[in-house]
Every structure is written in structure tokens, then in C-alpha cells.
């Protein structure tokens, strides 16, 4: 049976050209990039080239790019690093603003620090259709606010947040604050990079997170952009790699793969073209399944929704049975974040929309990709209602 992959927000298939670039690199340059001999320096030169490519994608300086093991580490570094530095420099309890739409690698970090009494935290609630305005965030700023961390595009429900507007407000607020106290602005752009402009200057952010495996690149490599002058501590101690900010021998092949994956995404115009094609297919899918009784869209419609995402809630269906039935029928779909798969509890994001938390309400997320075809959409349009009907009959 041919499989149909609708889980590109969880991870994307590795592009063959990325795989080749990594393999070629690994075979040719095995040296440790921190070694002073030629083998080391050759590897170092290649990762510098990769760093420059990531910097170009973000319109940043190469020395502002720190390679990490992925977005989870980058998000932890951004939040814990800013909080730790603020506590050290001021000695007061810092306040962090984030949203209820964050990925667990932001949401759980802030929740945990709040629970331990390390920080005060404000979680901004979305509207029932999954939107958050810049004003909602700015309104919560207090004298001890040190960080705003706001996801760019929701991995679960596809909301696109007004990151640029938030950045603009924050830079105006920061220009009135003393140089010893600035509010850092972090955005998790993991799900945004495929389609949206991640120019850090335009976004007005101090910290930005990327992960290669969401962009047809390899797993285990990510980036934290740290704007020059940002007051931030390290997450780990050790060697002097990554400008003294992230110790440990670099994942050299991963860096080459990440740089290649970003290069292959193309210019903003090319990314917008790809977004249009994917959006049309996604809209066709939604048009055909929205009339199934008990089906409801999660998240916004129109321009403020990620083109690849279709997240829906369905009544009178057990979630695990639905995902399993879809899998058996050949479709890879998910309930939301893959990071909590195995849990049939609705996620904090779905709960934040005020959706009923019940055993008979399911969430299904379809996320389309570069290789999704009209034929695949036609197949799921035919099969999905059949699967729903069958499961509902069993449940009766």
C-alpha cells in the first residue's frame, strides 16, 4: 500500500540533495573543527561556510548564529539564558511573557520555572480561533519583564502570530529603558521558515530558533540566533565552541545539511510560490471535509494561517482509534505536537481554544508538504469520511 504523508509539521523527509551534501562532507572532512591542524581547519572552514548561509537566511551576522542540537535546545537556551543573566545582574525575580500557543519546548520551560518560583510568568490566551494580538502581549509588560517569547507559527493549529508588530512595539519600549534593562524578544520560528520572511532585522527579535528537520534537513541540528549585545547566559559549560556560547564538538555534517536545506528553500518569492501551491491543496481538503457532521476547524482561516496546516476537531470519535484507523488506511497524520504523542489528552493549545476536553472529541492535524499531490488529496477526501462513519458506527 502506498503511504501518504500528512505530518510535515512533525518532521519533513530529508531532501536527497541535503543527504548528498552531508555524505560528501563526512567522507572528505572528518577533522574536529576545533583542531589546529589542516584536517580540523578544513572542517572549520566548511562549517563557517554553513554558518554564513544560515546567517544570510536570517539577515544576521555569522557570529550571531549558534548551532544547537535542535529547536528544543535553542528554545531552552533562549529562555533559561535570559532569565539566568537577569537574575545574576539584577538579583530580582524576572517576569517572562509567553503564549498558550507555544511548543512544549517553550511552554513547559516557562511553566516549570514559574512552578519553581524562579520567574513570574504570563501566558497569553488566544481567541477561540487561535489568534493573539501584539496589544495583548504588550499590555502585560511590567517593570521586571525581561523576556517575551512568542511562537511565529503554531505547530499545532497553524496560527501566524504578529511577530513583526510585537518586535516593533518592544523596540520602541526598549528605546525608553535604561541600557542595563532591556526586554529580550525571542521567537520560535521553527514552523515559519518554510514560508515566511525570517529576516531578524525586520522581525525586530533578539533571539530566533530554527530546526533543520522541519525544513527537509537532518534531525539533531538547530540554530539559535542571538543578536549582538543580548545579555544571555550559556545553557551548558565546557569548551569554547560556538563563540563560547555552546560547548561541545559541532555536529559538522548536520551544519552542512542545515545550510543546504535553507539554501534549497530558495528566495522568499520561491517560498511564497511553494506556499501558494500547498495552500490550494490544503483549502481543497478543507472544502471537502468541512461538511462532515461534527467537524470543526482549529485555528484561524485566511492569511493568518500557515498554508500547510489543517487541524480539525471531530466529535463522537475516539482520538487514538481515529489516528490508528488513518494509519492502517495508509495516512500519516497526527493529533498535534509529535512531542507528546502517546498522550490522548488534548494539548494545552487545544485546551486554550476552549475546546471540550472529552474522550469522544478528537483532534487531527494534516500538514502538507512540497511533495503533496492533488491525487493524494483526492484519496484522503474520499477515505476520511468513510473512516469517520465506520468509527462512529462502532462507537454506537
Q: Where does this chain touch ligand PMP (CB under 6 A) — which range of 35-43, 52-60, 66-74, 126-134?
A: 66-74
What whole-number distance in Å separates Cα of residue 163 and Cα of residue 186? 10
Cα separation, 193 vs 129, in Å, equals 23
Burial class (CB in 10 A: 0-12, 13-18, 19+), 10: buried
Q: What is the rounded distance in angstroms from the CA atom of residue 226 to the CA atom of residue 208? A: 7
Closest CB 106 distance from ligand PMP, rounded Å: 7
State in angstroms the smallest separation of the CB of 115 from ligand PMP: 21
- Position 155 contacts ligand PMP (CB under 6 A): yes
Q: Does the footprint of ligand PMP cover residue 299 (CB under 6 A)?
A: no
Q: Which is nearer to ligand PMP, 29 or 306 (CB)?
A: 306
Count of all residues that appear for the chain in the document: 396
Half-sphere exposure of 184 (CA within 13 A, CB side): 31
Contact (Cβ atoms closer than 8 angstroms) between residue 328 and residue 314: no
Question: x/- binding map, residues 90-109, to ligand PMP, per CB under 6 A?
Answer: -------------x-x----
One DSSP character per residue, 262-281 reads HHHH--HHHHHHHHHHHHHH
Number of residues that bind ligand PMP (CB under 6 A): 16
Nearer to ligand PMP, 44 or 369 (CB): 369
Among the listed ranges 45-53, 67-75, 242-250, 284-292, the one in contact with ligand PMP (CB under 6 A) is 67-75
Alpha helices in the chain (DSSP H): 16-28, 38-58, 71-90, 104-115, 134-138, 163-176, 200-203, 241-244, 252-265, 268-289, 319-328, 348-352, 374-395
Smallest gap, in angstroms, from Cβ of residue 227 to ligand PMP?
A: 19
Site residues for ligand PMP, 336-355, by CB under 6 A, read: 337-339
Nearest CA to 46 among 266, 250, 267? 250
| Closest distance to ligand PMP from the beta carbon of 127 (Å) | 20
Query: Phi and psi at residue 121, in whole multiples of 5°?
Result: -135, 145
Quick check: 66 and 230 in contact, CB under 8 A? Answer: no
Catalytic residues, which ones?
339
**Contact predicate 107/348, CB 8 Å:** yes
Taking the complex as a whole, the smallest distance from the CB of residue 73 to ligand PMP amounts, in Å, to 7
Show contacts with ligand PMP in window 209-248 (CB under 6 A).
211, 222
Q: Does residue 309 belong to the site contacting ligand PMP (CB under 6 A)? A: no
Piece of 119-127, 233-241, 274-282, 335-343 that binds ligand PMP (CB under 6 A): 335-343
Residue with nearest beta carbon to ligand PMP:
70
Listed ranges 59-67, 87-95, 332-340, 367-375: which one lies at the site for ligand PMP (CB under 6 A): 332-340
State the nearest-atom distance from the C-beta of 298 to ligand PMP, in Å: 15
Q: b/e for 25-36, b at 16 or more Cβ within 10 A? A: beeebebebeee
Strands 184-188 and 207-211: parallel
Report the nearest approach of ligand PMP to the CB of residue 65 (Å).
16
Site string for ligand PMP, 19-58 (x = CB under 6 A): ----------------------------------------
- Residue among 188, 206, 242, 376 that touches ligand PMP (CB under 6 A): 188
The H or E element spanning position 171 is helix 163-176
DSSP classification of residue 310: E
By CB under 6 A, name the binding residues for ligand PMP: 70-72, 75, 103, 105, 151, 155, 188, 190-191, 211, 222, 337-339
Amino acid at each position: 500500500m502506498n503511504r501518504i504523508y500528512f505530518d510535515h509539521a512533525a518532521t519533513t523527509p530529508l531532501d536527497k540533495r541535503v543527504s548528498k551534501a552531508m555524505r560528501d562532507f563526512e567522507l572528505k572532512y572528518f577533522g574536529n573543527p576545533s583542531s589546529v591542524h589542516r584536517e580540523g581547519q578544513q572542517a572549520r572552514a566548511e562549517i563557517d561556510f554553513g554558518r554564513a548561509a544560515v546567517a544570510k537566511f536570517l539577515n544576521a551576522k555569522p557570529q550571531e548564529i549558534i548551532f544547537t542540537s535542535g529547536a528544543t535546545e535553542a528554545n531552552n537556551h533562549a529562555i533559561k539564558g535570559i532569565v539566568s543573566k537577569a537574575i545574576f545582574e539584577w538579583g530580582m525575580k524576572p517576569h517572562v511573557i509567553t503564549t498558550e500557543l507555544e511548543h512544549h519546548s517553550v511552554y513547559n520551560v516557562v511553566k516549570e520555572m514559574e512552578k519553581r518560583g524562579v520567574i513570574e510568568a504570563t501566558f497569553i490566551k488566544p481567541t477561540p480561533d487561535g489568534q493573539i494580538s501584539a496589544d495583548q502581549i504588550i499590555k502585560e509588560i511590567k517593570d521586571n519583564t525581561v523576556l517575551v517569547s512568542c511562537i511565529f507559527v503554531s505547530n499545532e493549529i497553524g496560527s501566524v502570530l504578529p511577530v513583526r508588530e510585537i518586535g516593533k512595539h518592544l523596540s520602541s519600549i526598549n528605546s525608553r529603558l535604561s541600557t542595563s534593562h532591556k526586554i529580550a524578544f525571542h521567537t520560535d520560528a521553527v514552523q515559519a521558515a518554510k514560508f515566511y520572511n525570517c529576516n531578524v532585522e525586520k522581525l525586530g527579535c533578539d533571539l530566533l530558533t530554527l530546526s533543520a528537520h522541519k525544513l527537509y534537513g537532518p534531525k539533531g541540528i538547530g540554530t539559535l540566533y542571538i543578536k549582538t549585545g543580548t545579555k544571555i547566559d550559556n545553557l551548558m559549560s565546557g569548551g569554547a565552541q560556538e563563540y563560547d556560547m555552546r560547548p561541545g564538538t559541532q555536529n559538522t555534517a548536520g551544519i552542512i545539511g542545515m545550510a543546504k536545506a535553507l539554501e534549497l528553500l530558495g528566495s522568499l518569492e520561491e517560498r511564497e510560490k511553494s506556499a501558494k501551491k500547498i495552500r490550494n491543496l490544503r483549502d481543497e481538503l478543507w472544502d471537502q471535509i468541512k461538511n462532515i457532521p461534527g467537524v470543526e476547524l482549529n485555528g484561524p482561516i485566511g492569511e493568518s494561517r500557515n498554508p500547510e496546516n489543517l487541524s480539525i476537531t471531530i466529535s463522537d470519535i475516539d482520538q487514538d482509534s481515529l489516528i490508528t484507523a488513518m494509519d492502517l488506511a495508509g495516512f500519516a497524520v497526527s493529533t498535534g505536537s509529535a512531542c507528546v504523542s502517546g498522550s490522548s489528552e488534548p494539548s494545552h493549545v487545544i485546551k486554550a481554544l476552549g475546546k471540550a476536553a472529552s474522550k469522544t472529541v478528537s483532534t487531527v492535524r494534516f500538514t502538507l508538504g512540497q511533495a503533496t499531490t492533488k491525487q493524494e488529496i483526492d484519496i484522503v477526501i474520499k477515505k476520511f469520511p468513510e473512516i469517520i462513519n465506520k468509527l462512529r458506527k462502532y462507537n454506537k
